[in-house]
Amino acid sequence: MDIETYNQIYTSLNSMEDVAYISSEYGEPAGVILTIFNQKIVSRVKRIHPCVNRKRRIHLMQWKAGKSILSIANKNHIPASLMASMILKEMGHPAKKILKDPQQISDRRLRNEIVNALDADCFFSPKAHRMHDFRGKAGESLLEKWLGIRKVQFLTEKDLKRKGTSKTPDFLLENALEIDGNLISWIESKALFGSDREHFGHHHRQLRHYQSRYGKGMVVYWYGFLESIDNGRYVVKDHSYFKEIEDDIEVFLDMGVDC
């Protein structure tokens, strides 16, 4: 994806209701648009969370005055799960434990509002974290199936860790595989959109170490990537490359779209 299109999509996304329309407008799978929206929400939370969190006492006062957790969250432009956590902490409750099981709350109003907040939050709620983990594992399963179709032998990250190896890619190939004229020795799966910021972080934390140890490799950003990151350092692919498993990929891209 070119940077201009990415910026247009990024700027246009302001609510979950925008995802379907923008998906149709730009001809991109809804899962790709949702992943870009997730990046926007995460970036905003990192920026504003400290300031919003410092006002926990005010948020609790507003809730006691009758405002709902959802309305307080919306007013402060922060995901509802995080606002629920702030209010619970200000009450002196173990927020993390309660968010995993709201039914343990005896106060019916608080319990119902926590449940509503978790249901409404597609990015920071426990269900959102579970979906994030599930997509990550599903992306690895797709690559494993693709490698099997191509009869490529490999060691998984688990295999390598059992041998005591650190800094391990998802797949280390027993024999180099030719992709677009490049011989690759490893593959890393990322169930997200490869923006400049995301790729820069993965390069420094992981990819450069794999390249130093094993040689050239491939990183798969299943939900697409910016053209600018494909600079020849690694082979970079997205969902559109894997034609042999396109039916599985269609299901994969739709995961979590309905939140």
Per-residue pLDDT of 100-126, as tens digits, reads 999 999 999 999 999 999 999 999 999
Q: Tokens 């594992």 map to which residue?
A: 137
Q: What percent of the chain has pLDDT over 70?
A: 100
Indicate if 44 and 120 belong to the same structural domain: yes
3-state secondary structure the chain: CCHHHHHHHHHHCCCCHHHHHHHHHHCCCHHHHHHHHHHHHHHHHHHHHHHHHCCHHHHHHHHHCCCCHHHHHHHCCCCHHHHHHHHHHHHCCCHHHHHHCHHHCCCHHHHHHHHHHHHHCCCCCHHHHHHHHHHHHHHHHHHHHHHHHCCCCEEEHHHHHHCCCCCCCCEEEEEEEEECCEEEEEEEEECCCECHHHHHHHHHHHHHHHHHHHCCEEEEECCCECHHHCCCCCEEECHHHCHHHHHHHHHHHCCCCCC
CATH number of domain containing 216: 3.40.1350
Indicate if 95 and 149 belong to the same structural domain: no
Indicate if 234 and 181 belong to the same structural domain: yes
The whole-angstrom separation of Cα 129 and Cα 132 is: 5
Indicate if 100 and 209 belong to the same structural domain: no
Domain for residue 258, yes or no?
no
Model-level pTM greater than 0.85?
yes
Choose one of 93, 126, 159: the last residue of a domain.
126
**Looking at residues 55-59, what average pLDDT do you find?**
98
Domain for residue 131, yes or no?
no
Res. 185: pLDDT tops 80:
yes
Check residue 52 and give its pLDDT: 98
Indicate if 116 and 153 belong to the same structural domain: no
Indicate if 69 and 172 belong to the same structural domain: no
Number of folded domains that form the chain? 2
Indicate if 109 and 143 belong to the same structural domain: no
Indicate if 119 and 13 belong to the same structural domain: yes
Higher pLDDT, 230 or 48: 48
Res. 166: pLDDT tops 80:
no
Indicate if 36 and 107 belong to the same structural domain: yes
What domain range is 31 assigned to? 3-126
Check residue 206 and give its pLDDT: 94
Domain for residue 192, yes or no?
yes
Choose one of 102, 126, 150: the last residue of a domain.
126
| Of residues 111, 125, 113, 102, the one with CA closest to residue 256 | 125
Indicate if 82 and 153 belong to the same structural domain: no
Choose one of 126, 146, 166: the last residue of a domain.
126
What is the amino acid identity at position 154? F
